[in-house]
Structure 1
Amino acid sequence: MPDYGYKVVYADPKLLAEAGYGALSDQPFLLDPEPGYARLPNQFLIDRGLGYWDPKWRGEKRNPIPPSRISMKNFARWLANALEWADTRSVDLMRGDYVSDLIDRYQQEMLKGIWSADNRPLAPETVNPRVQIALEFQMWAADKGLRPPFVIPTTTTTYIAGSHDNSRSHEAKVIQSRKGKVKVNKRTLSFPSVEEIEAWRERVYERPEVGATEGLIVDLILNTAIRREEAACWRVDTLPLDPKDWKIVNPDQPEEAQSVIVTIRYGAKGKQYGIDEHDDKIGPEGEIHIPLWIAKRLHGYRNKERLMALKPRLKGVRPAEARRIMEETVHLFLNPVTGFRYTGDQIYAFWSRVQGPAHWSPHLGRDWWACRYLEERMKQHAELIQQMLKTPNVSMEHPMVLALRDSAVTVIQMEIKPQLRHASSRTTEIYLHWLFAKMRVPLTMTRQWVALDEEGGEGDDE
């Protein structure tokens, strides 16, 4: 029989519900190389997915908010890779050792490109979660008495964490992390030129039939920094149906500067509070500002182009069925060719399909919005910046530098992070580095302003 390797699969939700296992409708399962049901790995994924076991509580109590559907999908893929490696190398994870097997072999083979699809070294962002989930599988097995206990070497780190509501308030925190984790290089932001982005945007709009809709999605992401999944889950009534009900936060400003507050929760990153009847994740609720001119374009699309986009699904159906389809189609953005909603993956696909700048993605579009916003807000301090640039050998402790840094941090903490929602505190330092590089300020940011990534946190969404 051919070797199929490990594969991530999903069972039919209706069949699971009829059998009394509705809670597992979004649960990924693994098939082994036979192919057959991978019993122990799947029991681990079930316990992890339902919150009966996690690396913090180790089964002592149930996690009331288990991992999200996306996280579980990632866990299953990472575990499948580790199991595939273990089978290929004749390593029994039920007896394997953290240091000699996972670190010295599995991790090293990925870093050297020995264990990768194209024989190229894998990035730390890929290696670390694969090793982590393999380790969790071993920890779970040990807690269940399925393998001997083992020691996980850890290191203690103290860092300075900034307050979310006060840019000048900082406190020391202590965390423990496992030894052997590959160090992730700090992200350095680099964006395409305005001309490159505009040329790419025009190519999106020029796509036959779908260009106008997909261009509007692009403009919404670039002007609000929402995630692609949030754009896919944007409802018809996310922006109130009646413009009279729009909450304009700065009505005293010129219309081109006004913004509307809307509430986001479907598809939002973070803890999963459930899956609604339209198969959308219900995440943490948060408010964002959208430019009034974007709100007006969304309102126009909602009342005209979107109704036209539903026609392919209504063609040839009876009036009662047409009403049902219209009532159950709650998402704003519909593909005018099919009449169905856009998914997050489809947004990423069309974003990448036209010839765009290198590494340009919806996620980088979020950072682009944040940095452009920071740059515009810091133009209010143009005189201070010019004075600093004229000062030879300026030090990071110079009063002008401290004043500029405090102003920038305040903008990031009080204005940018609330718009981004669930943004890692590491972005504070990343955006500061980008700002100072943009201004060509000859100084090195050495103070630790941000928290280290939390162990076991959800991965970044694309």
Structure 2
Amino acid sequence: MPDYGFKVVFADHRILTGAGFAAVANLPFIFDSEPGYARLPNQFLIDRGLGYWDPKGRGKKRNPIPPSRISMLNFARWLANALEWAETRAVNLMAADYTNVLIGRYQKEMLKGLWSADNRPLAPETVNARVQIALEYQMWAADKGLREPFTIPTITTTYIAGSHDNSKSHEVKSVQCRKGKVKVNKRTLSFPSQEEIEAWRKRVHERPIFGVTEGLIVDLILNTAIRREEAACWRVDTLPINPKEWRIVNPDQPEEVQSVLIELKYGTKGKEYGVDEHGDKIGPQGTIHVPLWIAHRIHDYRHKERVLSLKPLLKKGSTVDAQRRILQQAVHLFIHPGTGQRYSGDQIYTFWTHVEGPEHWSPHMGRDWWACRYLEERMKQHADLIQQVIKTSIVSYEHPMVMALRDTAQTVIQLEIRPQLRHHSARTTEIYLQWLFSKLHVSLTISRQWVALNETGDAE
């Protein structure tokens, strides 16, 4: 967690629930630098987290789908940063002017690196998120009568809705966005070489004590494209305990290409349907393919290395019954060998990025790497079409062969890659197409068909 003077904490949800505050038991709270309970910021977080206020409805009606726990944690961290900045600069954030203070000072200092942990300019995405939550805090305060009403300057932007699975796939839409937002460059993909990734993967596997567990986590992510939080929430029985119950989708194929269907619902991205007794978010359920050879490794791990990793935890049980209860509570698959506790999403990110490896290589990039490698392998079945496109002297978006190649790649993405990634947005379709055309060295201008990557959630 970032080391702010303003701290973001979670209370023990069992204590809050027992005291009659179950509704807020899983929400984060902010303590100021004294330290003390930050009353107004926390009331804002409670109203936001329970759906009583959001920047679109402005408290006129309750949002039936409030932000998830992960989103609320991000909101709390961003707001804590803004509060810390305001206190350091002797600014009253509650009464701060949007143009002169939030944009003219707070945003500018982050972009120049004057307000960052390492004195380096922050990414536009980070700057926009922090300014936006500070602005929402002000909007909430105005709606509650805690400050004077104010006007947010806006501009109208248009974009093309890039969904390719409906009849309005090229519909032009307009939205109102706040002025002053930092422009975010369209996302492009580039990956380390296969040799760099393999060398990094080998170093993970060869780590003393941790290599077996963390190497399996790495291989699971790189071969299934699951998110790190989904890996952290993976249960002992997510892959059925009995191999006879495994749903092999292609049993008629050679064993090395067979895959097992797995259902995921813990830690998945999207709407939060609740938090289970182990602290995991219950999200939208999705089905993924797990290579059979990975399934066999998971099966071996949970009966061997995982049992050994639980020893530090079992030592806390003074009786056989106590140890049995500990085992019953240890429902997660991946156990940290040093502590006997489950791996968290943050711990997965930490070991992934701290083992010497390629620059900017992260678990999320591992998802994109899987998608692009899968697309590349599937497109090898259309080698003749690819060669024709490459050899064409004048290539444009409207060329029939380019359209055919695009349609073929798009079908693979829509029917095979997106279900595995469980993406609901068509943005990734265009990103992967761009990567494919770049790899084929085909010069195309397809940006007019891209989905605008500017967020529109902060439209006033």
Inter-partner Cα distance in structure 2 for 1:385 and 1:262: 34
1:210–1:423 distance in 2 versus 1, CA, 3 Å = farther
Counterpart in the other structure of 1:422: 423
In the superposition, the TM-score normalised over structure 1's length comes to 0.93
Give yes or no for contact 2:227–2:364 (8 Å, CA) kept in 1: yes
Task: State yes or no: 1:247 paired with 2:235.
Answer: no
Inter-partner Cα distance in structure 2 for 1:373 and 1:323: 43
In the superposition, the TM-score normalised over structure 2's length comes to 0.93
- 1:218-261 Cα offsets, whole Å, 9 max, x none, are 11000000011101110111112222222222222222222111
The alignment partner of 2:95 has SS state of: coil
Counterpart in the other structure of 1:443: 444
Amino acid at match of 2:398: E
Counterpart in the other structure of 2:286: 286
Inter-partner Cα distance in structure 2 for 1:427 and 1:303: 38
**Correspondences of 1:149-228 after superposition (within 5 Å):** 149-163=149-163, 165=165, 169-228=169-228
**Correspondences of 1:248-397 after superposition (within 5 Å):** 248-315=248-315, 317-397=318-398
Q: How far has the Cα of 1:339 moved from its partner? A: 2.4
**Correspondences of 1:397-416 after superposition (within 5 Å):** 397-416=398-417
Inter-partner Cα distance in structure 2 for 1:311 and 1:8: 32
Give yes or no for contact 1:167–1:410 (8 Å, CA) kept in 2: no
Q: How far has the Cα of 1:139 moved from its partner? A: 0.7
Counterpart in the other structure of 1:65: 65
1:200–1:94 distance in 2 versus 1, CA, 3 Å = closer
Give yes or no for contact 1:348–1:362 (8 Å, CA) kept in 2: yes
Inter-partner Cα distance in structure 2 for 1:258 and 1:363: 25
Q: How far has the Cα of 1:113 moved from its partner? A: 2.1
Q: How far has the Cα of 1:100 moved from its partner? A: 2.2
The alignment partner of 1:162 has SS state of: coil
Inter-partner Cα distance in structure 2 for 1:306 and 1:320: 20
Amino acid at match of 1:347: I
The alignment partner of 1:447 has SS state of: helix
Counterpart in the other structure of 2:232: 232
The alignment partner of 2:264 has SS state of: strand
Q: How far has the Cα of 1:64 moved from its partner? A: 2.2
**Correspondences of 1:93-104 after superposition (within 5 Å):** 93-104=93-104
- 1:174-228 Cα offsets, whole Å, 9 max, x none, are 3332222111111221111111111111111111122111111111000000011
Inter-partner Cα distance in structure 1 for 2:354 and 2:124: 27
Q: How far has the Cα of 1:279 moved from its partner? A: 0.8
Q: How far has the Cα of 1:451 moved from its partner? A: 4.8
Inter-partner Cα distance in structure 2 for 1:33 and 1:60: 33
Amino acid at match of 2:238: T
Give yes or no for contact 1:263–1:287 (8 Å, CA) kept in 2: yes
Task: State yes or no: 1:47 paired with 2:69.
Answer: no
Inter-partner Cα distance in structure 2 for 1:258 and 1:161: 36
1:443–1:213 distance in 2 versus 1, CA, 3 Å = same
**Correspondences of 1:138-153 after superposition (within 5 Å):** 138-153=138-153
The alignment partner of 1:234 has SS state of: coil
Give yes or no for contact 1:269–1:422 (8 Å, CA) kept in 2: no
- 1:152-177 Cα offsets, whole Å, 9 max, x none, are 22233332223364699444433332
Give yes or no for contact 2:163–2:425 (8 Å, CA) kept in 1: no
Q: How far has the Cα of 1:419 moved from its partner? A: 0.9
Inter-partner Cα distance in structure 1 for 2:397 and 2:456: 31
1:160–1:349 distance in 2 versus 1, CA, 3 Å = same
Give ranges in structure 1 of 5+ residues lacking alignment.
458-462
CA RMSD of aligned residues (A): 2.1
1:171–1:249 distance in 2 versus 1, CA, 3 Å = farther
Inter-partner Cα distance in structure 1 for 2:182 and 2:425: 19
Q: How far has the Cα of 1:442 moved from its partner? A: 2.1
Inter-partner Cα distance in structure 2 for 1:27 and 1:343: 18
